[in-house]
Amino acid sequence: MVGIAIRGLSKSYDGVPAVRSVDLDVPPGSLTFLLGPSGCGKSTMLRMVAGFVEPDAGSIRFGDRDVTQMAPERRNAGLVFQNYALWPHMSVAQNVAFGLEVRKMPKADIARRVDECLGLVRMREYASRTPNQLSGGQQQRVALARAIAFRPDVLLLDEPLSNLDAKLRIDMRAEIRRIVDELRMTTIYVTHDRDEALSLADSIVVMRSGDVVQRGTPRELYERPNSKFIAGFLGETNLVEGAIEGAAGADSMVQVRTPIGSLRAYVPESLARAGTVTLSIRPEAMSLMRGAAQASAGADVIRATITSTTYLGAVAHHEVAVGGIALRVLETNPRVPARPGEEVQLAVSPDQVVGVAGTP
């Protein structure tokens, strides 16, 4: 297993930066995501790592090999790209075998390896079909088998599930994770889909306009977004402005006066200095309580009035009003019908109220 180490990688097109001096470390055998909105530079990053786009500056190492100037076919990287289709005139087995033949592997070994890889993606019984006899999901699995067949040092995936329908996407997510784990392959996975990243990643690097704006585990990014952009990109959230009143215990907890009440919040020191702050509170972080129900000790309570409710069986989405502000609240297992005008209490744990920067 090798790790990937990228330093100061930059690329501009016609003077417009697509990737701005990005550093990235992918530990050996781990699955790192590049996540961000369309146009933020993810594919440009991955194409530079694969060798299809020449960087303006910076370096790329696979383990102790500097591959920055190396031709793509010499980098020993497996690729699954959106526009990197299977060869239509070759059978499934021939598609998977091709990279092995190029590398002059003995015929018997090729047959064994093709069989093994098709087994990994559960496509053994389709070996003699041609790609146009396969569904989209099956083609995608063959593309993955082709990418891993020659045991690449690194696996590079660019929106590998984007052409699949929703159900297949979720099935394939699990397959990819299983295969990466089984082969312990160092992988960079590019997507704009937060659910893919949250559900699969060891580590996520979020990009915006060619820059890395935050990196961390799925949980770190979801629970401790460092900006409004990250908070909103990783999930739904409520943003509330407030004035910092003082410290509220250790670990960056402060008391914040807001239009929805005075709340304790986690605000990193660098933001707390400004005196005012934007707080992010996710809809599921607030528990809706009715009547005389008591919030658990340690929670802050917000009094609110329900304005509207969408009932979905497993969950209900409420819009509530408090202090002239509309908040979205998610209730799980909603057993009691909600009605507009109903007075409720929202209990929120202070560590789920997070100060975020206005700009990334």
- Residues found near ligand ADP in the complex (CB under 6 A): 13, 18, 36, 38-44
Q: State the Cα–Cα distance between residues 16 and 337, nearest whole angstrom.
A: 54
Nearest Cα to 215, choosing from 23, 45, 61? 23
Q: Whole-number minimum distance, CB 73 to ligand ADP, in Å? A: 20
Residue nearest to Mg ion (CB): 43
18/306 with CB nearer ligand ADP? 18
DSSP 201-238: -SEEEEEETTEEEEEE-HHHHHHS-SBHHHHHHHS--E
Q: How many residues bind Mg ion (CB under 5 A)?
A: 1
37/323 with CB nearer Mg ion? 37
Q: Whole-number minimum distance, CB 273 to ligand ADP, in Å? A: 33
Q: Whole-number minimum distance, CB 34 to ligand ADP, in Å? A: 8
**Region of 41-49, 99-107, 211-219, 293-301 interacting with Mg ion (CB under 5 A):** 41-49
Amino acid at 37: P
**9 strand-pairing partners:** 22
CA atoms within 13 A on the CB side of 82: 12
**Region of 35-43, 202-210, 229-237, 277-285 interacting with Mg ion (CB under 5 A):** 35-43
45/244 with CB nearer Mg ion? 45
Q: Are 42 and 207 in contact (CB under 8 A)?
A: yes
Q: Are 173 and 144 in contact (CB under 8 A)?
A: no
- Partner that binds at residue 358, options Mg ion, ligand ADP, none, CB closer than 5 to 8 Å by kind: none
Residue nearest to ligand ADP (CB): 43
Identify residues 254-293 at the interface with Mg ion (CB under 5 A).
none
334/360 with CB nearer ligand ADP? 360
17/28 with CB nearer ligand ADP? 17
- Partner that binds at residue 18, options ligand ADP, Mg ion, none, CB closer than 5 to 8 Å by kind: ligand ADP
- Partner that binds at residue 191, options Mg ion, ligand ADP, none, CB closer than 5 to 8 Å by kind: none
18/346 with CB nearer ligand ADP? 18
Task: Indicate the SS3 state at residue 123.
Answer: coil
DSSP 126-159: GTTS-GGGS-HHHHHHHHHHHHHTT--SEEEEES
Q: State the Cα–Cα distance between residues 338 and 313, nearest whole angstrom.
A: 13
Amino acid at 344: V
What is the longest distance spanned by two Cα atoms in the chain?
76
Q: Whole-number minimum distance, CB 357 to ligand ADP, in Å? A: 22
36/242 with CB nearer ligand ADP? 36
Q: State the Cα–Cα distance between residues 129 and 172, nearest whole angstrom.
A: 20
Q: Can residue 44 be called a binding residue for Mg ion (CB under 5 A)?
A: no
Nearest Cα to 17, choosing from 50, 51, 44? 44
**Region of 38-46, 95-103, 181-189, 334-342 interacting with Mg ion (CB under 5 A):** 38-46
13/311 with CB nearer ligand ADP? 13
Q: State the Cα–Cα distance between residues 154 and 253, nearest whole angstrom.
A: 41
Q: Can residue 43 be called a binding residue for Mg ion (CB under 5 A)?
A: yes
Q: Are 158 and 124 in contact (CB under 8 A)?
A: no
Would you tell me which residues interact with Mg ion (CB under 5 A)?
A: 43
